[in-house]
Amino acid sequence: MSLPHAILTALLERPSSSGLDLTRRFDKSIGYFWSATHQQIYRELGRLEAEGHIRALPAEQPARGQKKAYEVLPAGRAELARWTAAAQDPKPHRDALLLRLRAAAVVGTAGLDADLRRHLELHRRQLAEYREIEQRDFPVGDDSAQARLQHLVLRAGIELETFWTQWLTEALANLPLVEGDLPVVEGESG
């Protein structure tokens, strides 16, 4: 249910955005923590407009195929404020890599080290990208409330990527060097 709220947020941050503008924003910023496809964004724009939360701005010059720009209406701002203030429980974390590592403890780690190294490299790249964004978009001295909160969201990404790089490094260091190093599971014959 958060995609409409992500779109409302993006439209309030940058009024008069088109669906294409929103898609680009999802690719470059919001998408780091809430992803959506081009089709999902356009479908949701239609729903938000039908619900009276946004409206398409009138085109300066009518032209076929011209991109629509949208603005948030008072009902949309109220919905976003309601959603922001509502209590929400954390979602359980599901990660196939963690499950695979748990399974490797009982069936063996053959081939797992290569994928752990691949994940480590992906997280290192993402961490570097987040740090570049931090240097570029959050200069020292911009202390507005909006900048502080946006920076806080980015810091969450930096901290998560830092955690994953450290954890994956530790996981690789703890993989048994020899298959025989794995513990025997109860019920298995030796």
pLDDT at 128 exceeding the cut of 60:
yes
Residue 27 has what pLDDT? 79
Residue 144 has what pLDDT? 85
Q: What integer best gives the mean pLDDT of the chain?
A: 87
pLDDT bucket at 178, cuts 50 / 70 / 90: very low
How far, in Å, CA of 25 to CA of 27, rounded?
5
Question: Residue 68: is it exposed, middle or buried by C-beta count within 10 angstroms (0-12/13-18/19+)?
Answer: middle
Fill in the amino acid letter for 141: G
pLDDT digits over 106-126, tens only?
Answer: 888 888 999 999 999 999 999
User: pTM for this structure?
Assistant: 0.76
Q: Hey, which bits of 53-187 come out as E strands? A: 54-56, 69-72
Please name which of 66, 70, 31 lies closest in space to residue 50, comparing C-alpha atoms: 70
pLDDT bucket at 99, cuts 50 / 70 / 90: very high
How far, in Å, CA of 177 to CA of 175, rounded?
6
Q: Which whole number is the average pLDDT over 163-167?
A: 97
**DSSP bridge pairs for 56:** 70
